[in-house]
């Protein structure tokens, strides 16, 4: 149960930070710097929870871990449930904390869905691939959180103006509550799962002769 609670807590705070940072960033003029803040926050949360749950905080990462056989199907579903629960709770907290003028009044669909889909596939692929490489059962390196957080940061800077740089379906879903995203764009963020699944498959093929790392 500790693993699932950790996933819920991590997903809550990551979602909370994302949606407290982005709207207030536009009001304060922080702008593009919000992406660096979000990447750093994810790194911190990874360091906090990796030794307990593996620190997924993202259904796409959970899918990549399942493809790589680090977790079972049952665990994967429970992980996703707690991730989504944490994200939805965070969204409701944000809506009640921010002032009305700090929140979007109406979500607008992305202008180029195909480009956004490709961006989310590529961004989530790299995120999942880096995750699988640096998160090990023994956590025998000190840079794993930094590597994952910086991956989010650099990909957000790379494709954020195209797709929003989400790379995480729970961020999109929670964004609907905040009116930052719109349900009609959901198909775009299925790309997160496609990228993660391909990353898991690619990792298996490239590391087929190495020691398998399982069950974080």
- For 42-89, write each residue's pLDDT tens digit: 999 999 999 999 999 999 999 999 998 899 999 999 999 999 999 999
Where do we find the tokens 């949360």? 45
Report the distance separating Cα 125 and Cα 102, nearest Å.
32
As given in the structure block, the two tokens for residue 66 are 């399942």
- Any idea where the domains of the chain sit in the sequence? 2-206
Greater confidence, 104 or 200? 200
C-beta separation of 86 from 11 below 8 A: yes
Radius of gyration (C-alpha) of the chain in whole angstroms: 16
* pTM greater than the 0.85 cutoff: yes
pLDDT reading at 102 higher than 70: no
Fold of 2-206: Glycerol uptake facilitator protein (1.20.1080)
Task: Give the model's confidence band at 178: pLDDT under 50 very low, under 70 low, under 90 confident, else very high.
Answer: confident
pLDDT average, residue stretch 179-185: 86
- For 25-42, write each residue's pLDDT tens digit: 555 555 567 788 899 999
């Amino acid at each position: 149960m500790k693993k699932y609670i950790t996933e819920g807590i991590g997903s809550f705070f990551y979602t909370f930070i994302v949606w407290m940072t982005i709207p207030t960033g536009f009001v304060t003029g922080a702008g593009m710097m919000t992406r660096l803040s979000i990447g750093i926050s994810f790194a911190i949360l990874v360091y906090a929870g990796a030794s307990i749950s593996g620190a997924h905080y993202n259904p796409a990462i959970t899918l990549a871990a399942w493809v790589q056989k680090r977790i079972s199907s049952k665990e994967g579903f429970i992980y996703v449930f707690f991730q989504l629960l944490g994200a939805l709770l965070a969204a409701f907290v944000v809506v009640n904390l921010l002032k009305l003028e700090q929140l979007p009044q109406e979500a607008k669909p992305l202008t180029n869905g195909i480009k956004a889909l490709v961006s989310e596939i590529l961004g989530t692929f790299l995120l999942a691939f880096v995750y699988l490489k640096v998160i090990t059962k023994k956590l025998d390196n000190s840079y794993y959180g930094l590597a994952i957080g910086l991956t989010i940061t650099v990909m957000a800077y790379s494709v954020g103006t195209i797709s929003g740089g989400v790379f995480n379906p729970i961020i999109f879903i929670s964004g609907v509550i905040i009116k930052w995203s719109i349900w009609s764009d959901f198909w775009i963020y299925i790309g997160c799962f496609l990228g993660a699944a391909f990353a898991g498959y690619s990792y298996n093929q490239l590391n087929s002769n190495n020691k398998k790392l399982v069950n974080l």
